Structure 1
Amino acid sequence: MSANADLAEDAILDAVNGGLIVLDQDARILRWNAWMAFASGHPVASVLGKPLTGVFPDLDLRRLTTAVRAALASGASTVISRTLNPAPLPLRTRSGRTLLHDITVSPVGERSGAACLIFVTDVTMATRREKYLRDQQNARYDAIVENAPDVILSIDSGGLIQMANSAAVSQFGYAMGDLIGKSSSLLFDTAGDWSSMLQAVINDAISFRSCELIAVRKDGSLSYVEASASRWNIGSQGFATVILRDVNERRAVDAALRCSEALARNAAIALADLNQTLEQRVDERTAQLMKAEEALRQSQKMEAIGQLTGGIAHDFNNLLQGITGALHVIQKRISGGRIGDIDRFAAGALESANRAASLTHRLLAFSRQQPIDPRPVNVNQLIASIEELLRRTIGETLQMTVMSADDLWLVRCDANQLENAILNLAINARDAMPDGGTLLFETANAVLDTGQARSREVKQGEYVRLVVTDTGTGMPPEIQARIFEPFFTTKPIGKGTGLGLSMIYGFVRQSEGSVRVDSKTGKGTSIEICLPRYRGDLEVHAEEVAGRERRAGSDEVVLVVEDEPMVRVLVVEVLKDLGYYALEAETGTAAIRILRSSQRIDLLVTDLGLPDIGGRLVAEAGIATRQNLNVLFMTGYAEKAAGSAFLDGGMEMITKPFSMDELAARIREMIERN
């Protein structure tokens, strides 16, 4: 090669943003570019012809030397990563700091004696960015744990406390330094029950839903707590994370409720035995009835709290599933050396954690806090577009009639929410008419005067009325008074979430309209929705695609229905890893459209508590057109609450939070069953 060619080659090597070292067959340096000279502090002239051990005599280069030998002997390429071999070479950045780097060793062709190429990549900024993001995520997690109202403890296999949050200090009365390293059994009066639960979790990896224990504070006083625990590992060492919830107030409320009920019973007995004057009996009976009414209100309040906490637990378990599932996938990727796409799972886990902090805001949907996408809507056209779906949903045993007013005014609202509201009302009407009946949809223009507007709690003016009437069982007044409460439902577990009517109420009120119920036991129910008239033109919007195109070939296809985005992403990722083709649906309505299409579907995986249509109803709609369809329900409710009594043949249930391996095994088992 000519001198000019050598100069040109040197110029090219010096222009590369990374270190380049070219070795000959004897592992001696032929080329040493400018980047390498600057980062190492060794000029080109001082290293040419030397082995690497001659340039870095005090450095352990066994890993790098082995890679060079492999390249020279067998033509093998080797990557020496910073994560496994921190700082293989003593290199510095322009600011004089240690330069973090990866090294790639590759063989080269027989050209001018060159035999091996060493490429050094600067990963300093990438490493610092990764550490920053990891520290940020850990800081958010620590903040969640530290500010949690419940006691959170981390306990090792020997029963010693390794971590405690501020709530633990408040609950037990010990300083933080006194808790760390303390035997956890000393904190409980029921030490035997505590030890049994802890060892079961540590040894058998069993997650306990709840276990009531008696805790002992530092001052010797007792406190009732509800404990739940789960296991995690660092290497071969097992640990347990324990959450303790103070239930003293709940026990006191239960005791007060029992006392009130006893007073009510005693009052009834006393009334029967009274022999005083009528006026005295009336006065005393009135007093007793007032006490009984207060006890009843207290009982209803506790029932509402139970419904509310059950709904919160479902949503929070969804968020926990997103966090634990994403971390599990990250762990799998790292252990398998596939770290290229773990950022999106880390971001998903962080997003779920942030959403957990704002969970209570979602409960305000029924009080006009739910986001909407308002646009002009013709209610007649909307009902006509879903009429076939409505008829299939209610079944052939019911007669459905639509009475549409001519020249119906436009309204401005979220069309998707109005469609879901109509579908929910149809499903409720169907369930209220198990032996058949008539379902009527009526639309009309209405001008509300001052009195009519006041009774509906809206402004007077022009409105569009939508009335849905059934001839079903009807509702007593006490049920009518509660139907818009979130998570309240008269249906059995798995048949309804208790969110349908509360979300309808929130949507209508947020659209500046009104919703009213008129129901009589044994005669039926009529629900009226009034939405303000919109003075404008109807906009044209492209319809959403109901489902993805059918995949060519005969690979198994799984439809995943989950409104929690991170959970849906994780389930789809598991399916892809197993080699299955996955279809996604965020709502039950979208899932039903796909199930009624010609798309091949071998398994339906659906959340039990969807926001618009329950997972059970989605499954029934799928089985109606696909008789051999298998269904795997996912639920965030406690296993005993959800139960399996409502599962038919071909249906199974998996309880959140679950591991990705467990989900993969269940999916593989159900598909191979076909």
Structure 2
Amino acid sequence: MSPSSDSIQHKDLVLDALDSGIIILGGDHRVLTWNVWMERATDVAQATLIGRSIWDAFPALLDTRFGDAINDALDAGASSILTHSLHAKLLPLHLPDGRPLLHDLIIRPLSSQSGRHCLIQVKDVTVTVERERLLRERRDAKYRAVVDTAQDAIVTTDAGGTVQWMNSAAERTFGLASQDALGKDITHLLSPGGDVPWPRDLAALALRESSAQPVELTVERHDGTVLNLELSLARWQSENRNFVTGILRDVTERRRVRDALEQAVADKTVLLREINHRVKNSLQLVSGLLNLQMASLVDQSARSLLREASDRISAVARVHHRLYQTDRFRTLDFAAFLNEMRDDLIKASGERVCDIDLATEPLEVSIDHAAPLGLITNELITNAIKHRGADAAVIKITLECWPDGYALTVSDQGPGLPPGFDAAKSRTLGMRIVTALTRQIGGTMEIPPVARGATFRITVSGHQHSCTDPEDGAP
């Protein structure tokens, strides 16, 4: 035996001992080497294939990526790696028990003195893939144990919106089995024939993720049932593919309760507005009856008393009139109330009788303080008009507000108060009303000395109020 033939025999023994397939093709695609591993994996013997074109054994692979890779190696000297996960049509190989043999191919050029050849190395990855599958199944089993028992519907789609997976809660929510939804567009679940806020590209998903806020949507199931769902989305990747998982919480009952509460609030608002309207009308009716009674009296003292009583009732009616006009029933815009009261009093008394100047800060007072403050202001103004003397009453009303309180000041330029005047000991009904109502709202009244006229300052601290401009919102 010659040294060269001995070397060839040793090479064949080495190739046959390898735990991988080895194929060497000539430039005309004829098989030059076909080791024993390939014989076992294909049931094609060396003797039947050596010297023949590989396409005689595998004609179906000629126009596949496998054929292109062989041409690249022979014609361009380029190497290729083909994996079972990316290429469906590789060599038809099998294990000893008949199961398909999963494999990867390394195809590279092989130069020799007789020209360019092609070396194909076949690597069995069945065990590796099976191990990865088992590990993945164990990992997925934990994941599914969590998500499949979740109360919320969970749906996963690819980046194009095609349903890839859904949990049991999703099947119950949409009344649709998984096999009827997988492979279909997400609109098949969320809005048959319509549009849904499900991102179809990475830019849309990034925009949705940046908001980090769930969105509410209304879904009509295939059986006609309407659901209100809250949708949260997240993007993730696997094997260089993008997926979108959405968690859909059924908020139909929550939405029903919310709508019922909103309707109840709306009904209460209408009711409170109607109550204030009727109270105002009733008070105006009483005031009108007093005015009718006053017109039939000859006694000027009695007429004056009835007029004062009518004015007090009208002051309370103004409060309810303001409450009827506003959407807030817990507070009253007292600055606006004072402006309305000033206009009414000037209109009733005449501009020659009184001149009322307002300097008010925005103030929202609680409804418990609104009527007493309105009566206090009315009493102080009417007293200033009543005791103005021969000249017109010049009155200034100041309304101040700070975080823990507010103050109402009424000043006039009239003849002033008698020496030693004590409001707490006054016998006049008007001053008794002012004193009693000031105590009722937890305030204090001061009568500071002034050069001319009289000044009354009512200060209230530690009570619910707001210095916010009504247009900026109020409690």
**TM-score normalized by the length of structure 1:** 0.29
Instruction: Mark the structure with the bigger radius of gyration.
Output: 2
**TM-score normalized by the length of structure 2:** 0.40
